[in-house]
Structure 1
Amino acid sequence: MDLRIFTEPQQGATYDDLLAVARAAEDLGFDGFFRSDHYLHMGGDGGAGPTDAWTTLAGLARETSTIRLGTLVTSATFRYPGPLAVQVAGVDQMSGGRVELGLGAGWFEAEHTAYGIPFPPLGERFDRLEEQLAVITGLWETKPGETFSHNGAHYPVVDSPALAKPVQEGGVPIIIGGGGKRRTPALAVRYAAEFNAAFASAADSGRLFERVREVAGDAGRDPASLTLSAAQVVCLGNDDATLARRAAAIGREVDELRANGLAGSADEVVDRIGAFTEVGAQRLYLQVLDLSDLDHLADIADGVLRQLS
């Protein structure tokens, strides 16, 4: 089971906060450091305000050396696909080929209105997501010296030189996730290297995984070629006082976290992770919400990462 650290910087983290967490995660042996792509806080006052996902990842690409970096997930409503393909390819170059792109349709209407970003109806957002995936992958897959065109309703592209190119052969791995039963698994099977079930129970994650595997088989894709992952909030404390303190720091109750995430002692967290392993999860994103508590990362690495590795 790969373990990755997942952060929510829109709650008020600065770039320096993210750098400290990314470096700690790398030093402790976690597989990846990922961040959300949001422009508005969800509860609280937003602290120092949001940081742009790909701007910060570009900085982290130069200030880390081994850890995987990416978004979970970038909203397709925020950026045009051509410039996004250039941007992500550039960060991949800066990192030496360590970047992954989580891409979704977008859902948080308030952040769109707060920053003047159009927020079309759900059906159109999915149409735009599908077209963005076609453009981004098409640009990356175009051979050097050739051009790429796309006759799309939302993002027509004509004779693009399809530059810049990612370092990773075949392009940056794409992550698609969600609970949709039809379009989401179809898009994952067609475009993604990884399907993510975010904040669902192990049983519900298993059902989502089974649906994706079924769609892959029907489409003629080897289901084993698609990495299956989950995301869960984590709150570890090897004694009651530490656990209560860490839960309070993120505005949550211990019992609620135990019911809806990975909370408790290291052994308890490992047991909960085992339920996700049993339903097919190969990778887990641990949502860490208190970015000032680097000892939390160390405790997770010492008590959980070591057991799973």
Structure 2
Amino acid sequence: MEIGLMVEGQNGLTWERWLHILALAERLGFPTLFRSDHYFIGPQQDSLEAYVSFAVAARETSRIRFGPLVSPVTFRSPVDVARMAAQVDLLSGGRFVMGLGAGWNEAEHRAYGIPFPAIGERFARLEEAIRLMKALWSEGPVTFEGKYYRVEGANLLPKPARGRPPILIGGSGERKTLRLVAKYADEWNAVNVSPEVYAQKVAVLERHCEAVGRDPATIRRSMMTFAVIGPDERTLDRATERMMTMWGAARPAMGGQPGMSLAEYRAVLRSRGMVVGGKEEVLEALGRYAEAGLQEVQFQHFLFDDDTVPEFLAAEVVPAAKGL
């Protein structure tokens, strides 16, 4: 079991903090550092543009894999995404991961004037975009005639470092997302599901793989989690307060109730399958995920001004998780 980090780039992330987190991830030996690709979720705050930040990551790090968890297909032309991804991958020496999704946050689309089609069209666009991007990364020139995207004689140069970046698809929807994972993804990233639910999703993915004639073992399996973890009660309290602030506005169902204590709110999060607690609780959860075939967990680092949780993970959890 590998342990990585993830940050929400729209939640007040500044250039100073991004540079610090990049150096921190490298120093502590994390294999991956992913970030979200959003304008905002909930209150509008400082929000670093994802692909500019990836170019910085390519130059400021030398070892970690990085990329978006995930880029909505609605935000940009797949031609532009393919071009940026190829150049960031080349700049980083082949460490970029192309995370893609259909998009879900209607509020940010509406605020910034971005079309937000119905869910069926968004997934159709995602599939077509993946096909087009893979074609553009191959030997050109390329002519592509799709329902939503077209190119004629396009030779995207320079090419990526490794032929193409690995494609990661994020989400756990059984009918659409996992079907696309089986057809196209090098990596599947689930989002914050319990070990029991994760095992059910694995079974669905395996059925989709059987339908398209693919060995499910060829798909890397990772998960991003909104865990409330730390080495002591003070750290858990800070993380809980931050979670209540974030989710109270962005996800009211997870925001807790008025007057609820921090300990009571942690109990609510735990009841919803989240990883909550110290080293023993984290390792117990990781063991159950490992039994279901999960290979990597990216813990969200949402206290940008406090290195306690990444240092706790690196010192106490990572060594023990190697045996899972």
Q: TM-score, normalised by structure 2?
A: 0.89
Listed as ranges, the gaps of 5+ residues in structure 1 are none
Q: Secondary structure at the residue paired with 2:299?
A: strand
What pairs with 1:131-280 in structure 2 (closer than 5 Å)?
A: 131-140=128-137, 142-143=138-139, 146-169=140-163, 171-251=164-244, 253-259=265-271, 260-280=273-293
Query: Is the 2:68–2:98 contact (alpha carbons within 8 Å) kept by the matching residues of 1?
Result: yes
> 1:292 is matched with which residue?
305
Distance 2:120 2:88 in 1: 30
Shift in Å, 1:191: 1.4
Shift in Å, 1:150: 1.1
Shift in Å, 1:139: 1.0
> 2:248 is matched with which residue?
none
Distance 1:250 1:204 in 2: 22
Q: Secondary structure at the residue paired with 1:11?
A: coil
CA displacement 1:243-262 (0-9 Å, x = unmatched): 22332233373323433422
Identify which range, 269-278 or 182-191, moves more after superposition. 182-191
- Stretches (4+) displaced over 6 A: none
CA displacement 1:201-250 (0-9 Å, x = unmatched): 11111111111122112211111101112221123233333322332233
Distance 1:196 1:41 in 2: 20
Aligned length: 302
Shift in Å, 1:29: 1.1
Shift in Å, 1:180: 2.1
Cα RMSD after superposing both structures: 1.5
Q: TM-score, normalised by structure 1?
A: 0.93
Shift in Å, 1:81: 0.8
Query: Is the 2:36–2:68 contact (alpha carbons within 8 Å) kept by the matching residues of 1?
Result: yes
Distance 2:20 2:44 in 1: 19
Percent identity over the alignment is 37
Distance 1:247 1:101 in 2: 31
AA aligned opposite 1:160? A
